[in-house]
């Protein structure tokens, strides 16, 4: 039984408004994800790998780039510089 639900007359469940909304939303996401998993497992291995590369690799690249920018902005704000930055600036390009 989901949290914040109490039995009411007639066997129905009563809940506070936020709990019901969250539970219904989570249940819908769960059912959708189960359908995606079923569809994915029925594909052949080659199609699974191709789909993995087309979807997950760009997502990972985006996440790494975002994390790199966030860390760079944090270091820039606190004034930290990499030890190699001064040496790299003196090298001819």
User: What's the token pair of residue 85?
Assistant: 């930055």
The overall pTM is greater than 0.75: no
- What are 1-19's pLDDT values in tens digits? 555 555 555 555 555 566 6
d(CA 35, CA 1): 23
d(CA 32, CA 26): 10
User: What's the token pair of residue 28?
Assistant: 């819908």
Give me Rg for the CA atoms of the chain: 25
> What confidence score (pLDDT) does residue 26 get?
82
d(CA 85, CA 67): 20
Average pLDDT of every residue of the chain: 78
- What are 6-57's pLDDT values in tens digits? 555 555 555 556 666 667 778 888 999 999 999 999 999 999 999 999 999 9
User: What's the token pair of residue 14?
Assistant: 């009563």
DSSP state letter for 11: G
> What confidence score (pLDDT) does residue 28 get?
86
d(CA 22, CA 16): 10
């Amino acid at each position: 039984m989901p949290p914040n639900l109490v039995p009411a007359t007639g066997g129905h469940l009563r809940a506070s408004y936020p709990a019901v909304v969250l539970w219904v939303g989570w249940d819908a996401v769960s059912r959708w994800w189960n359908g995606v998993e079923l569809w994915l497992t029925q594909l052949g291995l080659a199609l699974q790998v191709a789909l993995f590369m087309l979807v997950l690799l760009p997502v990972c690249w985006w996440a790494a780039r975002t994390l790199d920018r966030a860390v760079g902005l944090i270091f820039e704000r606190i004034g930290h510089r990499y030890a190699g930055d001064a040496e790299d600036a003196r090298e001819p390009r």
